[in-house]
Amino acid sequence: MAVVFETEGLSLLQEALEAMGQGFQTLPEVGNALDSDGVRSILLSVAGRMQENYPYFHPLYVGQMLKPPHPVARLAYALAMFINPNNHALDGGRASSEMEKEAVAQIAAMFGWSSSLGHLTSGGTMANFEALWIARELAPGKAVAASAQAHYTHSRLSAVLGVPFRKIASDERGRMDIGDLREQLQTGEIGTVVATLGTTAAGTIDPLPEILELRNEFPFRLHVDSAYGGYFTLASNLGSHARAAYDAIANVDSIVIDPHKHGLQPYGCGCVLFREASVGRFYKHDSPYTYFTSEELHLGEISLECSRAGASAVALWATMKLLPLDRNGSFARSLEKCREGALQLHDQLQAGKRFVPLFQPELDILVWGVRAHTASESSRLAREVFTEAEKSQLYLALATFPRKMVEPAGVVSNWDREDLVCLRACVMKPEHLDWMPEILKRLEASL
Ligand SMILES: *Cc1c(COP(=O)(O)O)cnc(C)c1O
């Protein structure tokens, strides 16, 4: 049986397109014929090519950080595409620039900021790049520090920026080791610390309150990379460690969050926020090419990227209209369900014999090893389970963790290598909760 994609929205799109056209009715008409035979055959061949993907949209896909956009995001994006606005300057995207400012202000308000500066980016990498660039401008010559479990982008971006990078140890829970951070801060070489709320591999949360406390002793800038985990500040079912970190977030200097990860957006939507709007001065430029024609703020004046998809802002704005960032709203509830699903998976695996979760998930990402005598044998079995699961159309991910993070769980008794290949699930879809019995069944069967 073929998967049936949601197409009801297409008639809504048609209606909205007609409504949008009304606004331009004073223009003389232009023909817009479509070579439908040519387009049709190409579209069908695209449909064929796209079948070569894993079914990211399906609840049996529980591998990498992939979450389908909300239908309202898809439709609003498609609607905006007929205008194709560019949020570089107001002249290129008048309405969509306003929508971007409104959407970004709502995200900032979610973190407790009311007068911050921020904008959308093409993704988390670019958003982090801007945050580290501003940090470098404020403290030239100083190093950027991030934990061993931080996204690799931070060391690479530091290299691009010509800034020294310091790797801070992670503890057995995959959280930044405060003792090591303190020691490295004592060198006086660190200008910026990156705290990750929701590490990419294991979804762990750096101890933000403790990091903030170190600012009483050492002067450093604090950037939070919550590209993955940012929206979880809305969830009411976090553990106390994670809750405390989110509750402290308003005290940092900059934050990154990816609406294209947990914010139900198509790819191409990251966001960077700065607590102090005054950092906008570093973006100043006087390009003769840019078509700035008004005194109002053009987003191109506070963004490193020039052309940016206005459609991304439109889709995000529309999604937040339908699903506001409220603590007790249905969007928050959907994140809570993801976390519930991950906790359920954790408890079920814990109760069995062969799979051993490394620790309770802090968000909705679970990592577990396969019980075996040696680390090599366990790693080999994890790869095998991964492959077998895929044969039964259960799509998982693999991740390698250092011995330190695995040892306390007692997955293996003989460490013949210093790391372990583990299985990993990103329980990112609220539907995963209802599908958990089926997911578990297929997982057990693949052993
Ligand atoms: C995904 C991710 C990034 C990179 O963001 P992209 O949107 O993939 O460019 C950076 N940091 C963390 C913590 C992430 O999860």
Q: What is the full DSSP assignment across 149-176? A: TS-THHHHHHHHHT--EEEEPB-TTSSB
Report the percentage of the chain scoring pLDDT > 70: 98
Our answer on whether the CB atom of 226 is closer than 6 Å to any ligand 1 atom is: no
Are 197 and 254 in contact by the 8 Å Cβ rule? The answer is no
Query: What atom of ligand 1 comes closest to residue 128's alpha carbon?
Result: 10
CA of 206 to the centre of ligand 1 (A): 16
Confidence (pLDDT) at 89 = 86
User: How big is the CA angle at 270 (ends 398 and 137), to the nearest 5 degrees?
Assistant: 110
φ/ψ region of 162 (left if φ > 0, alpha if ψ in -120 to 50, else beta) reads left
Q: How confident is the model at residue 287 (pLDDT cuts 50, 70, 90)?
A: low
- Alpha-carbon Rg for the chain, nearest whole angstrom, is 23
Are 355 and 361 in contact by the 8 Å Cβ rule? The answer is no
Confidence (pLDDT) at 301 = 83
Q: What 3-state DSSP class applies to 324?
A: coil
Confidence (pLDDT) at 4 = 86
Output helix, strand, coil percentages for the chain, rounded to the nearest 5: 45, 15, 40
Confidence (pLDDT) at 396 = 98
CA of 113 to the centre of ligand 1 (A): 22
Confidence (pLDDT) at 441 = 98
**Which stretch of DSSP H or E encloses residue 242?**
helix 240-247
Confidence (pLDDT) at 213 = 98
Q: Name, of 83-92, 239-248, 278-287, the range with top average pLDDT.
A: 239-248
CA of 258 to the centre of ligand 1 (A): 7
Count of CB atoms situated within 10 Å of the CB of 305: 16
User: How big is the CA angle at 106 (ends 133 and 135), to the nearest 5 degrees?
Assistant: 15
Our answer on whether the CB atom of 196 is closer than 6 Å to any ligand 1 atom is: yes
Structure tokens at 203: 């979804």
Per CATH, is 94-283+294-322 categorized as 3.40.640.10? yes
Smallest Cα–Cα separation from 427: which of 379, 401, 395? 395
Where is average pLDDT lowest: 90-94, 238-242, 313-317, 340-344?
90-94
Compute the distance between CA of residue 172 and CA of residue 177 in angstroms, rounded to an integer: 9
Residues contacting residue 47 through CB under 8 Å, at least 6 positions apart: none
Q: Which residue has a Cα nearest atom 6 of ligand 1?
A: 124
Q: How confident is the model at residue 349 (pLDDT cuts 50, 70, 90)?
A: very high
pLDDT in tens, 193-239: 999 999 999 999 999 999 999 999 999 999 999 999 999 999 999 99
Are 400 and 422 in contact by the 8 Å Cβ rule? The answer is yes
Our answer on whether the CB atom of 230 is closer than 6 Å to any ligand 1 atom is: no
Are 274 and 134 in contact by the 8 Å Cβ rule? The answer is yes
Q: Who has greater pLDDT, 173 or 300? A: 173
Query: What atom of ligand 1 comes closest to residue 228's alpha carbon?
Result: 15
Beta bridge partners of 143: 190
Q: Is the pTM of this model over 0.75?
A: yes
Count of CB atoms situated within 10 Å of the CB of 240: 7
CA of 151 to the centre of ligand 1 (A): 7
Query: What integer is the mean pLDDT of 278-287?
Result: 83
- Torsions phi, psi for 81 (to 5 deg): -60, -25
Query: What integer is the mean pLDDT of 17-35?
Result: 93
Residues contacting residue 345 through CB under 8 Å, at least 6 positions apart: 366, 425, 427, 436, 439, 440
φ/ψ region of 82 (left if φ > 0, alpha if ψ in -120 to 50, else beta) reads alpha
Question: How do the domains of the chain map onto residue ranges?
Answer: 94-283+294-322, 330-445
Confidence (pLDDT) at 267 = 98
Residue with tokens 């979760």: 357
Confidence (pLDDT) at 338 = 98
Where is average pLDDT lowest: 19-23, 80-84, 289-293, 325-329?
289-293
Residue 292 reports pLDDT greater than 60: no
352 secondary structure, DSSP code: S
Residue among 129, 258, 428 to mutate when testing ligand 1 (max atoms within 8 A of CB): 258
Residue 116 reports pLDDT greater than 60: yes
Count of CB atoms situated within 10 Å of the CB of 354: 14
Q: Which residue has a Cα nearest atom 2 of ligand 1?
A: 227
**Which stretch of DSSP H or E encloses residue 334?**
helix 330-351
Residue 288 reports pLDDT greater than 70: no
Residue 296 reports pLDDT greater than 80: no
Per CATH, is 330-445 categorized as 3.90.1150.10? yes
Residue with tokens 């949008």: 20
Confidence (pLDDT) at 31 = 84
CA of 233 to the centre of ligand 1 (A): 17
Structure tokens at 25: 């009715």
Sign of CA dihedral 300, 304, 310, 312: negative
Share the mean pLDDT of the chain.
96
